[in-house]
Amino acid sequence: MLLRETITQAIYSLAINKLRSWLTIMGVAVGVFSIIAVMTALDAIDKSVESGLTSLGANTFQIQKNPATTFGSGHSRNFYANRKDITYQQALMFRKGMTGQARTIGFIISSMANQAKFANLTTNPDVTITGGDENFSASSGYTVASGRNLSEGDIRSARNTVVLGSEVAATLFPSGENPQNKLIKINGEVYTIAGVLNKKGAAFGQSQDNFVLIPITRYLSHINEKSSLSITIEALSRKDYPLAIDRAIGTMRLARGLTVKDPNDFEIRTNESLIDSFRDIQQAIGTGAFIISFMALLTAGVGIMNIMLVSVTERTREIGIRKSIGAPRGIILLQFLLESLFLSLAGGLIGITIGILIGNVVALQFNLPPIFPWLWVTVSLFVCSGIGMIFGLFPAWKAANLNPVEALRPK
Amino acid sequence: MQSLCKFYEMGDQIVRALDSINLVFRLNDYTAIMGPSGSGKSTLMNIIGCLDTPTSGIYELNGQNVAEVDDDELARIRNKEIGFVFQTFNLLPRLNCLRNVELPLIYAGVEPEEREQRAAEALVKVGLGDRITHKPSELSGGQIQRVAIARALINKPSIILADEPTGNLDTATSHDIMDIFGALSDAGNTIILITHEEDIATYTRRVIRLRDGKIESDTMQ
C-alpha cells in the first residue's frame, strides 16, 4: 500500500522536472542503445552465417595464402604479408599431384571494383573480375544458364572469353536478348561472351552474382600477374573429406617447395574455419561494444547521481515536511531510490527499443530476418536497475538522513 | 518533562538552548509558549514535536520516554501523536489541498478511500469544503493555514503544535485562525502555540514565558 503510494510520488516528482528527467534518461538510453543495437545486428548476422558460409559447397575446401581474417598485433599481420603468393605454376603442380584424389580442383583469383560496358549500358564500378578455370563454376556451386562455360581451350590459350554472372547479364542485357557471342568491354578490354551463369543469391548481404568469369590465364597475363591464387578442392566424398585435406596439405607443401622444417606457408579454409573466423570478428565487435556501453552507462550513472543530489538539495523542505508529518527514513529512502531507478529503467527501455529497431534495420540491409535479443535485453534491464540503485543510493541515503529541524528551517 | 536540557556546541562554546526545563502538559490544555528570539522556544517546540531529542532529561509523551527512541519510532510518533502547524504553512506546493491533507494518512497506512473521505471531512471542518482540489498557490494565506490545520488534525493527534501560526497573516485573518484553534480546544484537543504576540497569547488558557532557556513564568489565565 505504502509502496504503491511511494511509487506514485516518485513518478510524480520526476514528471515535475520533465526536461531534467529526460536528459538523464537519454544518458542511460545511449549506453543501452549502443550495446543492444550491436548485439541485435551481430545476432542477426550470426543466424545467417552458417547457411551463408556453407555456400562454399559441401565437401569443399580452399587453399589460400592468408587466413580469412587476421587479428592481433602488427607482427602477425606482417607474418602473413611476407608469405609468397600462390602462383599459377604451383597451382598446376598441385592439381597434377592431386590427380584422382579430388572430384574437382578449381583455381580462382579475383579483383573487385571493375566496370563492364555493352553498347551504351554500363554497370556500376563494383563488378568483381574472377579469373577461373573450367572447373570454377561447378566447384563454386554455379550452373550455366545459357551459352557455355569456360572451356579447357579458353584457359590454355588465355582467350578473351567471358562468362557473366546473372546480375551483370541483367544490367547489360535488360531486354532479355541472348548475350552469347556479343562483345563487351571490361576495364577497356574487349571480351566475347561465352555464356551466362544462374543466380546464386546473396551471402552476408553481398551479391554473389555481380561478377564476370574470365580464364585465369587471361587474368594473369592481362589484369594482374602478381596475384595469389586461391585453389578450391572438392573431395571425392564426405568420408574422404579429412583425408583430402591431409593430402592437399602434403601436395601443396611439395608444390611450394617447402622442406620438412618449414611450417605451412598457406591456409586451409573450410566452412568451419570460415565460421570460426567470423565468430572471432563477432566476438571482437561484441567485446568492443560491451566496453564502450559499459563506460557510457557508468557516465550515465554519474549523471543520475548528480541530478538526484541536486534534487535532494532542492527538495530539502519537502523532505522536512514529509518527515515532520511522520514519513519514516525508509520511505524517504525508497522514494528517492525509486526515482533514480525509474530514470535508469526508462533510459534502458528507450535504449532497448531504439537499439532493436536500428539493429534490425542493419540486419535488414543484410537481408536477414528480424531478431529480438532476449539475453541482451534481460542483461540490459538488470544492469540499468543496478546502475539506478547504486548511483541513487547515496542521494537517497542523504535525503533519508536529513535532520527534520534543519530541513524545515526557513532559508 | 523533567530537567530537560538541550545544548548546542558552537565552536568551542556550549549554548544552553534549554536548561533544566520541567513542564507538564495535560489533556485539553491550551497553552502559549512565549519568549524573545533565542529564548529557546523553537528548540522546546522541536523537542515537544519529536523533531529533535533532548541532550539530557526525560520527555514522556503518553507515558513513553521519547528521549530514548530511534529515528523511525520518532517518525511514527510524529505521525500519530503530533499535528504540526507552521508559520510558513509548509504545504507541498504541487499537491492539491486534499492530497496535502491526506499525506499523514499515507504514512499511517490508511486505505485510499478512507483517506480521501477523512481528508475531505477535515477540510470541511476548517471551512474549506469547496476548495479541496485547489493547489496552495490558488489560496490566500489564511486559507493555506486552514489547510495546514486540517492536515494537523487528520490523524487525531495527542498534541496540536503550532509554531507562530499567525506570523505570516494579517490581523483579521490571524483572529479567524485563532477562532479555529479555540473551537478545536473546545472540542477537547490539546494545543500548544508558540508565539511572540501578546494578543495571540490572550486566546489561550495558559502562558509559559521562556528566557535564556529557562522558564520565567507559567501562569493560567
If asked whether residues A243 and A301 sit together in one domain, one would say no
Q: List, as ranges, residues 329-368 from A with C-beta within 8 Å of B.
A: 329-331
* Mean pLDDT calculated for residue range B113-129: 91
Q: What is the pLDDT of residue A269?
A: 81
Q: How far is A13 from chain B (nearest CA, A)?
A: 9
Determine the structural domain holding residue B112 and report its residue range.
2-220
pLDDT classification of B220: cutoffs 50, 70, 90: confident
**pTM of the predicted structure, to 2 decimals:** 0.69
Count of all residues that appear for chain B in the document? 221
- Backbone φ and ψ for A66, nearest 5 degrees, come out as -115, 155
If asked whether residues A375 and A261 sit together in one domain, one would say no
* Mean pLDDT calculated for residue range B173-200: 91
If asked whether residues A252 and A155 sit together in one domain, one would say yes
In this model, does residue A74 exceed pLDDT 70?
no
If asked whether residues A122 and A229 sit together in one domain, one would say yes
If asked whether residues A226 and A302 sit together in one domain, one would say no
If asked whether residues A390 and A297 sit together in one domain, one would say yes
Owner of C-alpha cell 568491354: A185
Say if A1 is an interface residue toward chain B (CB within 8 Å): yes
Q: What is the pLDDT of residue B145?
A: 92
* Mean pLDDT calculated for residue range A342-355: 93
ipTM: 0.90
If asked whether residues A301 and A403 sit together in one domain, one would say yes
If asked whether residues A175 and A292 sit together in one domain, one would say no
Domain count, chain B: 1
If asked whether residues A90 and A204 sit together in one domain, one would say yes
Residues A91-144: pLDDT tens digits? 888 888 888 888 888 888 887 777 777 877 888 888 888 888 887 887 777 888
Note whether B104 contacts A325, CB cutoff 8 Å: yes
In this model, does residue A213 exceed pLDDT 60?
yes
Count of all residues that appear for chain A in the document? 411
Side-chain-side CA neighbours of B200 within 13 Å: the count stands at: 27
Angle between helices A2-16 and A18-53 (to 10 degrees): 100
Closest Cβ–Cβ partner in B72, B86, B91 for A328: B72
Residues B82-116: pLDDT tens digits? 999 998 889 988 889 999 999 999 988 888 899 99
Q: What is the pLDDT of residue B191?
A: 93
Determine the structural domain holding residue A311 and report its residue range.
2-51+277-408
If asked whether residues A67 and A157 sit together in one domain, one would say yes
| Residue (of A375, A372, A294, A350) closest to A41 by Cα position | A372
Residues A28-39: pLDDT tens digits? 998 889 888 888
Name the grid cell of B4: 530537560
- Per CB-CB distance under 8 Å, the chain B contacts of A12 are 94
Q: Final residue of a domain: which of A269, A294, A314?
A: A269
Percent of chain A with pLDDT over 70: 92
- Per CB-CB distance under 8 Å, the chain A contacts of B72 are 328-330
CATH for B95 = 3.40.50.300
Summary mean pLDDT of chain A: 84
pLDDT classification of B11: cutoffs 50, 70, 90: low
Residues A220-232: pLDDT tens digits? 888 877 778 888 8
Domain count, chain A: 2
Q: Final residue of a domain: which of A269, A294, A322?
A: A269
Residues A234-293: pLDDT tens digits? 888 878 888 888 888 989 898 888 888 888 888 888 877 777 777 788 888 888 888 888
pLDDT classification of A339: cutoffs 50, 70, 90: very high
Give me the DSSP letters along B107-162. HHT--HHHHHHHHHHHHHHTT-TT-TT--GGGS-HHHHHHHHHHHHHTT--SEEEE
Element of type H or E holding A195: strand A189-197
Q: What is the pLDDT of residue A46?
A: 73
- Could you tell me if B116 and B44 are in contact, meaning their C-beta atoms sit under 8 angstroms apart? no
